[in-house]
């Protein structure tokens, strides 16, 4: 019996297994169950994988009880206050913050990939006028694979690198095209003399008849939103990218699968759902008390959007960062002060309520991000597109880490079968 093993005994059979006890650099110790079935015939059952590690990773660490989020060891608070999105991209992809020369080189590489093939314009123009931008984005990212047959060999390090650069560079361009298509405005060309966020706001709001020059506060708010959504361990969409990529699928197909997963209201669609919830409260005259009562009512499927988290059982550190950005932005640009005030009152009431305290339900990153995006004049249907644009670097970093992992193998979960046992086909 040693301290670096865990013994599991099946009392029904008396069979037992001494399994490796794995400890990462920080975080919860984990038992490696790969040899459990061989020694005991036992599989493990964990719907939603709430207690199961799917991989080893050095990209991001979350301590949900302490409300800690680290990217390659740097706290999200430090990065949100001092960094910029492309610097965080370099950190997530390469593991280190770039020096000035490395940053300038990385920024120059990204800027050389911001345009898309002219046929992408025609492809995106083919969607119905009211197509949801997430439908357009997921389809278009998957279609990119058809333009880069010469560089999607997943076993080629250089192909993996240029694909990462292409996706980070082209996401703002394609995201803005979703918006322009909805508005019936011409697609704008990227401007490589602008920063990443300035260029995105130009792509979104400039028109051939006139430029768009965003305020520094708006640019900083967008940079912060992008930094805060860049990566988050093995969330549903990142796990989707890993699982899709584990079959050898090309990176565009794997990232498109992640975009599809992020669309769900329980995941990336939550910021849109938060705004719908707040708008409904304003429009229907519902009170905070009646809204909270509905969230507690088990017979009512209503949940408080923007609250709760699978991992954070304390305050989501990103929510605190966004609340400050929200405050500064609305102070300068105006925008939905009543909605922001309602959000703050709702947050205050929830944090004081025992039902939510007992379940450790705190505001998550989505609770305030929608108010910031609305203050930036970004329509609600684009909110999850913004999340996807930011999370692209996290998805790629995990996809690359998986392909460099010596323990990597195709993902294929087991199940507990509860259906009919074998029965003969009835004679006619």
Residues classed as catalytic: 309, 366
Task: Pick the piece of the chain touching ligand SDX (CB under 6 A) from 23-31, 135-143, 148-156, 262-270.
Answer: 262-270
Q: Measured from the CB of residue 388, what is the shortest distance to ligand SDX in angstroms?
A: 11
Sheet bearing 60-63, strands edge to edge? 60-63, 68-71, 74-75
Which residue, chain included where needed, has tokens 């990204």? Answer: 110
To ligand SDX, the closest distance from the beta carbon of 267 in angstroms equals 4
- Residue 131 DSSP symbol: -
> Whole-angstrom distance between the N-terminal and C-terminal Cα of the chain?
60
Q: Which residue is nearest to ligand SDX (CB)?
A: 308
The piece of 70-78, 145-153, 244-252, 263-271 that touches ligand SDX (CB under 6 A) is 263-271
- Asked if 59 touches ligand SDX (CB under 6 A), the answer is no
Tokens at 155, concatenated: 């076993």
Tokens of 383: 């909110």
Contact track, ligand SDX, 265-284, x by CB under 6 A? -xx--x--------------
Q: Is 36 in the site for ligand SDX (CB under 6 A)?
A: no
Verify binding: residue 121, ligand SDX, rule CB under 6 A: no
State the sign of the Cα–Cα–Cα–Cα dihedral 285, 288, 290, 295: positive
Q: Which of 366, 383, 395, 399 binds ligand SDX (CB under 6 A)?
A: 366
Cβ proximity to ligand SDX, 364 vs 392, nearer residue: 364
CB atoms near residue 399 (< 10 Å): 25
Site string for ligand SDX, 306-345 (x = CB under 6 A): xxxxxx----------------------------------
| Helix axes 118-125 and 133-144, enclosed angle (nearest 10) | 140
Q: How far is the CB of 371 from ligand SDX (least distance, A)?
A: 14
Q: How far is the CB of 310 from ligand SDX (least distance, A)?
A: 4
Closest by CA to 388, choosing from 112, 120, 8, 133, is: 133
Is 210 in a helix, a strand, or coil? strand
Rounded Cα distance between 428 and 420, Å, is 21
In the complex, which residues of this chain contact ligand SDX (CB under 6 A)? 232, 235, 266-267, 270, 295, 303-311, 359, 361, 364-366
């Amino acid at each position: 019996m040693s301290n670096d093993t865990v013994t599991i005994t099946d009392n029904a059979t008396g069979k037992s297994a001494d399994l490796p006890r794995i400890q990462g650099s920080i975080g919860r110790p984990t038992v490696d169950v790969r040899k459990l079935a061989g020694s005991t015939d036992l599989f493990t059952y964990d719907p939603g994988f709430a207690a199961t590690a799917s991989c080893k990773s050095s990209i991001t660490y979350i301590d949900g009880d302490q409300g800690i989020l680290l990217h390659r060891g740097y706290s999200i608070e430090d990065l949100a206050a001092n960094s910029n999105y492309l610097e965080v991209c370099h950190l997530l992809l390469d593991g280190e913050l770039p020096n000035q020369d490395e940053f300038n080189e990385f920024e120059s590489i990204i800027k050389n990939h911001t345009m898309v093939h002219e046929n992408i314009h025609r492809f995106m123009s083919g969607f119905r006028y009211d197509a949801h931008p997430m439908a357009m984005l997921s389809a278009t990212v998957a279609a990119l694979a058809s333009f880069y047959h010469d560089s999607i060999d997943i076993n080629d390090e250089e192909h993996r690198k240029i694909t990462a650069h292409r996706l980070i560079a082209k996401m703002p361009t394609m995201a803005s095209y979703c918006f322009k298509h909805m508005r019936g405005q011409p697609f704008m060309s990227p401007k490589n003399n602008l920063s990443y966020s300035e260029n995105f706001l130009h792509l979104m709001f400039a028109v051939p008849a006139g430029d768009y020059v965003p305020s520094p506060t708006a640019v900083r708010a967008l940079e912060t939103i992008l930094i805060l959504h860049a990566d988050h361990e093995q969330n549903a969409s990142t796990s989707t990218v890993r699982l899709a990529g584990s079959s050898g699928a090309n990176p565009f197909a794997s990232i498109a699968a992640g975009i599809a997963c992020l669309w769900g209201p329980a995941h990336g669609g939550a910021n849109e759902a938060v705004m719908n919830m707040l708008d409904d409260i304003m429009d229907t005259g519902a009170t905070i008390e009646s809204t909270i009562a509905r969230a507690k009512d088990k017979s009512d499927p209503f949940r408080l959007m923007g609250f709760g988290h699978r991992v954070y059982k304390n305050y989501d550190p990103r929510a605190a960062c966004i609340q400050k950005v929200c405050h500064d932005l609305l102070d300068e640009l105006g925008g939905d002060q009543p909605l922001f005030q309602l959000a703050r009152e709702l947050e205050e009431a929830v944090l004081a309520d025992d039902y939510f305290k007992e379940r450790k339900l705190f505001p998550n990153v989505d609770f305030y991000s929608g108010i910031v995006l609305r203050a930036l004049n970004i329509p609600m249907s684009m909110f999850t597109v913004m999340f996807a644009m930011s999370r692209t670097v996290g998805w790629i970093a995990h996809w690359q880490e998986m392909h460099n992992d010596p323990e990597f193998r195709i993902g294929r979960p087991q199940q507990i079968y509860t259906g009919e046992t074998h029965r003969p086909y009835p004679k006619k």
